[in-house]
Amino acid sequence: MADWWGRPKLNIAKTKSEWIWDILGAVFYIGGIVSLLLLWGDLPDKVPAHFNGAGEVDRWGSKWELLILPGIGALLFGLMQALEKHPEVYNYPKRFNEANAEQFYLQSRKIVNQLKNICVIVFSVILLEAISIAMGWGSWFGMWFVPVVVGGIVIQLVYGLITLGKIR
C-alpha cells in the first residue's frame, strides 16, 4: 500500500536495539523527573539555569526553570516519536525503490530512534547536573560534556548514514 508520497507504507517491528534505546531513554527521563520531585522541597530558590561551553554555571534562576528541561525533553520525544513512526516521509536517495524500502525505513528509523533517545538522555543529564549543583553535591561534568555529546551524536549519525549508503 502506498501513501501520498508514492512510497510503500510498511509495518516493521521494532528491533531489539530500538527497544534498548527506548528503555535507556525512559530510565534517564523518569529518573530525572523522580529526582526532581523527590528533591523539590529541598532545592534552594536559585538553581543553575544555564551552562556555558565549559560546563560552568553562567546563569542562576528559579527552581521552577528546572521544569523546562523535562518539558523540552518531552516535546522532542513526542515530535521525534511521530517521525519515527512514519519513515515513509523521510527524504531518500534516487536508488530507493520498493525492493529496498524496508531496509531504508528500518535504518532511517533506527537513526531517528537513537537521536530521540540521545536528546532525552542529554536533557535528563543536564537536569540531574543542575540538581546536583543546586544541592551542593558538586558538578559531574565540566568542559568534556559538550564535546562528548556532540561527538556521540556525530558518530551515531555518521555510522547511520554509512549504513544507509550501503543499501542498494
- 3 confidence band (pLDDT: 50, 70, 90): low
Instruction: Supply the pLDDT for residue 165.
Output: 95
Q: Give me 168's grid cell.
A: 542498494
Q: DSSP labels for 36-89?
A: HHHHGGGS-SEEEEEE-TTS-EEEEEEGGGGGHHHHHHHHHHHHHHHHHH-GGG
pLDDT digits (tens, 9 = 90+) for 14-23: 999 999 999 9
Is the pTM for the entire model greater than 0.95?
no
- 4 confidence band (pLDDT: 50, 70, 90): low
pLDDT digits (tens, 9 = 90+) for 87-103: 999 999 999 999 999 99
pLDDT digits (tens, 9 = 90+) for 101-133: 999 999 999 999 999 999 999 999 999 999 999
With the C-alpha atoms ordered 62, 64, 69, 75, is the resulting torsion angle positive or negative?
A: negative
What is the residue whose three cell numbers read 531496509? 103
